Amino acid sequence: MALFSVFQTTFLLALLSLRTYQSEVLSEPLPWAPESLRVFINSTHQCLHLQWSVHNLAHHQELKMVFQIEISRIKTSNVIWVENYSTTVKWNQVLHWSWESKLPLECAKHFIRMRSAVDDAKTPEQSFWSNWSSWEEVHVQNSLGHDPFFVFPKDKLVEEGSNVTICYVSRSQQNNISCYLEGVRMQGEQLEPNVSVFNLNHVAFIRETGTNIYCKGDQGDSIKGIVLFVSKVLEEPKDFSCETQDLTTLNCTWDPRSDTGLLKQLSQSYTLFESFSGKKTLCKHKSWCSWEVAPESQEMYNFTLTAENYLRKRSVHLLFNLTHRVHPMAPFSVLFTDVSATNATMTWKVHTTGNYYTLLCQVELYGEGEVIQRNVSVEVDGKQLFGGLKPDTEYRAQVRCANANHFWKWSEWTRQNFTTAEAAPSEAPDVWRNVKSVQGHSVVTLFWKPLSKLQANGKILFYNIVIENLDRSSISKLLSIPAPANGTELNLDQCLYQIHVTANNSVGTSPASVIIVSGDPGNKEVEEERVKGMEDGFSLSWKPQPGNVTGYIVEWCDHPRGPLCDLQWKSVGPTTTSTVVSSDAFRPGVQYNFRIYGISTERVPYLLEKKTGYSQELDDAVCCKYRIDNPKQKTFVVENLQPESFYEFLVTPYTSVGEGPHGAFTKVTTPDEYSPILIRIILPMVFCILLIMIICYLKSQWMKEKCYPDIPDPYKSSVLSLIKSKENPRLTIMSIKDCVPDSIEVLNKQEGTRKSLTETESSKATYLYLLPTEKSYSGPGPCICFENFTYNQAASDSASCGHVPVAPVAPLSQLGLLTSPENLLKALEKNYMNSLGEIPAGETNLNYVSQLASAMSGDKFILPTNPPEPALCSEYKMQMAIPLGLASPPSSGSSSLSSVTLLDEGEHYH
């Protein structure tokens, strides 16, 4: 055990002595150790540049060496970077090395040291590390100003998606500083008591002027910040391609992608480098560049397109043979020659791209929905003949070319239009006729359908109609109907006619369409059958004709209800016995009638069958169905029909098995709704009016007296209103009190002579009763009865005027007309003078003018119910007469009314 301890101690001592020896050897300065180490700071790029030299190298001696560089942050023990830098060192050479810090250099102290070793096979004995150089301290904060705090790095330019470290350095540890990125607060970590760092990962592009990052102290009044310029990542140009149109200039294009331009960085630039020629050009445009083709006929080109900005370069390459990149220019001078109705020759020219290049040209022709394509080999001029074209048709031609030997790209199309010439119409017009017999003549209406564009071969100008009398073959007639007419009417006799119809354009005439027309319309009585319409029209079929038939015609009207039936027809071949007739004009609920004609070999149409039916029977078309159970009933009244509506009625028998066949419908249009009502009202009204008119006519005289008598009522005169309005006391109606009555001779006996004259009419004598009723009568004296002998005939005719109670003042009614005393006197004088003469008894144009009576009647309304007793009445002799124009008829109505009015006034005088 003791031996073991001694051995162990001896071993340890030996090991220690060996170690000591080694350390002594290593501590000796290496002859090629780094010296004169200097550190330079580039804050903008956050870089440390190291510079040193190696002494003791012999002249022209080169030595491979390794320099180990150590970088510490904040303190020397905190090594953050170790790197071995290998290089060949020459005599008296100054060596350089750079290091970029992720943390802005202002944010913390940095320490750098290095050592070296020989890494050269020539001196293997020297291949151990030299001593470390002393630490070089980098402390940028010392050079900062006196602001309370700072933010770093200033104006840093990075690519989008990069990671960036920001820091602030505060002068005081007490400052409470918060930092923001575009207004959003950032969370950092403390690096030192006065330094905080913020790691931004994957920074994004925000704007060309950069991203604002700023810090504010707790007071809020101080603000410091930086602008971080985030550039979009420079992308590789896409779709880089070069081609030539003329073999003298190459045009290279590419997609530049994103623009990386910033306030602190220009947009990326592009350079084009060709490796065979070694030429390089800076492109002026972002997406294309021109390159002059070498005159020495360089065929191969190897291009490198380089996009470059402050941060990055991107390159793409392109190798090609020039002749394989020929993109010809579009052909020109495209012309059409020898254009006929069916043929045309197209010529064009191409740009020359060399002496020996052949172009392949593609020609396309579009017209009437068809495309004709041709490939033509062309050196200088191209030519292509097109045949089988359609007459009078516009065609669009286009041509493009490409390199025939090495296809690269087609040129642009060059287009030109042309129209073929017209040709004579190729088909005969489809003709049909309608024949009517009118007074021994045939009115033939010819119809034809316009030729289709393909058939017309040009613009149809007119239709020629040749009418040939087959009975008298020598007679023919030619009619020319200008287009676009589609029919004409002919008046023919009962002879047999053959009609030729041709269509004509500017070039020629179509084949003729021939139809035979005779006086007999050929509408023999055939039974009408019902057909049912389908969605696509009517399916019609008929029995095949045993004889020779050249074809069939189906005829119908598109608008059977309209005044113009719009005759339509359809021609089918002789072997066809069925067809489907369809028309856009067919409407549901409308009955259509079809006639099927056969065309004989003599081209004479004759009616074969008749069909009728609805294209679609509406559900509501059958509005009602009545069941008549009495087999003997022969009449039925359908009620509640709509006025002015079209109805069709069908009566069919039925048995217990079912209904019988449906015969023809009876068509009825109901009258309008208001006619019967109007008739019921208007007729009685007319009758009444007529009756009234007759009565009025018969009683016109009575009406005249009633409504507008010759002697007007003064109280109805406008003069009265004038008097009242002016309130002129001098102008008034004469009052009975103001008048001095004439002397009245009262006879208590009847005058014989006069009576003899009126004897036969004694019962009808007109009396003017001046007697008031007992109640109202206040004056003395008996009643006075005036017999009016001068009463005119007209007045006397009035039946109601036999006994009229007239107030004493009644004669004053005429005084109303005599608005002034003078007029009154004149009138009276005149009449009086007339009265002096003999008045013939038969003279009827004089009216009686009553004189004033002394007594007044107070009872003005009550008509006397009993005629006055003659004994009590005084007979009045005629006093005077006045012309009819001044007299008013003493009709009962008017007189009575006048009296009333006057009495009313008179009452005011009481």
Partner 1 sequence: MRAQLMRRTLPSLVLGLLFLSTPAMGSCLDKYQELLGQLQKQADIMQRTSLLLDPYIQSQGLDKDGLKEHCRERPGAFPSRDALQGLGRWEFLRTLDTTLGRVLHRLTALQRDIPKAQDLETLNRAKQNIRGFKNNIHCMAQLLPGSSETTEPTPTDPGTSPSPTPTSDTFQRRLEGCRFLHGYHRFMHSVGQVFREWGESPSRSRRHSPHQGLWKGTRRMQLSRKNKRLLPRGQLPR
Kindly list the residues in this chain that would bind partner 1 in the complex (CB under 8 A).
151, 154-155, 180, 182-183, 206-214, 216, 220, 223-227, 261-264
Minimum Å gap between C-beta 152 and partner 1 is 11
Nearer to partner 1, 226 or 771 (CB): 226
Minimum Å gap between C-beta 186 and partner 1 is 12
DSSP 48-70: EEEEEEE-SPPTT-EEEEEEEEE
* Collapsed DSSP state (helix, strand, coil) of residue 667: strand
Minimum Å gap between C-beta 221 and partner 1 is 9
CA 695-701-707 angle, to 5 degrees, is 90
**For the chain, how many helices (H) and strands (E)?**
9, 51
Nearer to partner 1, 185 or 680 (CB): 185
Nearer to partner 1, 262 or 827 (CB): 262
Nearer to partner 1, 227 or 247 (CB): 227
Q: In whole angstroms, give the CA distance from residue 422 to residue 644.
A: 54
Nearer to partner 1, 46 or 504 (CB): 46
Minimum Å gap between C-beta 282 and partner 1 is 22
Q: Are strands 528-534 and 605-614 parallel, antiparallel or unpaired?
A: parallel
Nearer to partner 1, 220 or 369 (CB): 220
User: Tokens 């370069």 map to which residue?
Assistant: 313
Nearer to partner 1, 263 or 693 (CB): 263
Minimum Å gap between C-beta 197 and partner 1 is 18
Nearer to partner 1, 82 or 263 (CB): 263
Minimum Å gap between C-beta 278 and partner 1 is 36
Q: In whole angstroms, give the CA distance from residue 188 to residue 178.
A: 9
Q: Which residues contact 892 (CB under 8 A, 6 or more apart)?
A: 798, 800, 801, 804, 806
DSSP E strand stretches across 102-148: 110-118, 136-138
Q: Which of 119, 136, 175, 149 is nearest to 51 (CA)?
A: 136
Nearer to partner 1, 183 or 482 (CB): 183
Nearer to partner 1, 210 or 331 (CB): 210
- Per-residue burial over 613-624, b if 16 or more Cβ lie within 10 Å, else e, is bbbbeeeeeeee
Nearer to partner 1, 263 or 695 (CB): 263
User: Tokens 């350095």 map to which residue?
Assistant: 169
Helix (H) or strand (E) holding 828: helix 821-836
Nearer to partner 1, 208 or 710 (CB): 208
Q: In whole angstroms, give the CA distance from residue 511 to residue 429.
A: 8
Nearer to partner 1, 120 or 259 (CB): 259
Minimum Å gap between C-beta 279 and partner 1 is 33
Minimum Å gap between C-beta 222 and partner 1 is 9
Q: Contact at 8 Å (CB) between 199 and 104?
A: no
Residue type, 338: D
Minimum Å gap between C-beta 99 and partner 1 is 23
Looking from the CA of 352 toward its CB, the CA atoms found within 13 Å total 4
Q: Which residues contact 896 (CB under 8 A, 6 or more apart)?
A: 804, 805, 806, 807, 810, 863
- Among the residues of 45-183, which ranges form H helices? none
Nearer to partner 1, 30 or 230 (CB): 230
Beta bridge partners of 40: 49
Q: Contact at 8 Å (CB) between 572 and 626?
A: no
Minimum Å gap between C-beta 178 and partner 1 is 9
Nearer to partner 1, 44 or 506 (CB): 44
Minimum Å gap between C-beta 177 and partner 1 is 13
Task: For residue 875, give the DSSP letter.
Answer: B
Q: Which residues contact 152 (CB under 8 A, 6 or more apart)?
A: 43, 104, 106, 107, 166, 167, 168, 169, 226
Minimum Å gap between C-beta 506 and partner 1 is 59
Q: In whole angstroms, give the CA distance from residue 200 to residue 188.
A: 10
- Dihedrals phi, psi of 608, to nearest 5 degrees: -105, -55
Q: Are strands 785-787 and 279-282 parallel, antiparallel or unpaired?
A: unpaired
Classify the C-alpha dihedral 284-289-294-300 as positive or negative. positive
Structure tokens at 658: 């079912």
Beta bridge partners of 598: 552, 606
Minimum Å gap between C-beta 384 and partner 1 is 52
Nearer to partner 1, 262 or 465 (CB): 262
* Collapsed DSSP state (helix, strand, coil) of residue 640: coil
Minimum Å gap between C-beta 206 and partner 1 is 7
Q: Which of 359, 347, 352 is nearest to 414 (CA)?
A: 347
Minimum Å gap between C-beta 155 and partner 1 is 5
With 0-12 / 13-18 / 19 or more C-beta atoms within 10 angstroms meaning exposed / middle / buried, residue 410 is: middle
Cis before 331 (ω within 30): no
Minimum Å gap between C-beta 208 and partner 1 is 5
Nearer to partner 1, 208 or 412 (CB): 208
* Collapsed DSSP state (helix, strand, coil) of residue 714: helix
In the sheet where 149-152 sits, what is the strand order?
Answer: 149-152, 164-170, 195-200, 189-192
Q: Contact at 8 Å (CB) between 709 and 888?
A: yes
Q: Contact at 8 Å (CB) between 392 and 421?
A: yes
Q: Contact at 8 Å (CB) between 450 and 418?
A: no
Minimum Å gap between C-beta 113 and partner 1 is 32
Minimum Å gap between C-beta 174 and partner 1 is 21
Q: Contact at 8 Å (CB) between 323 and 405?
A: yes
Q: Are strands 578-581 and 487-492 parallel, antiparallel or unpaired?
A: unpaired
Nearer to partner 1, 166 or 307 (CB): 166
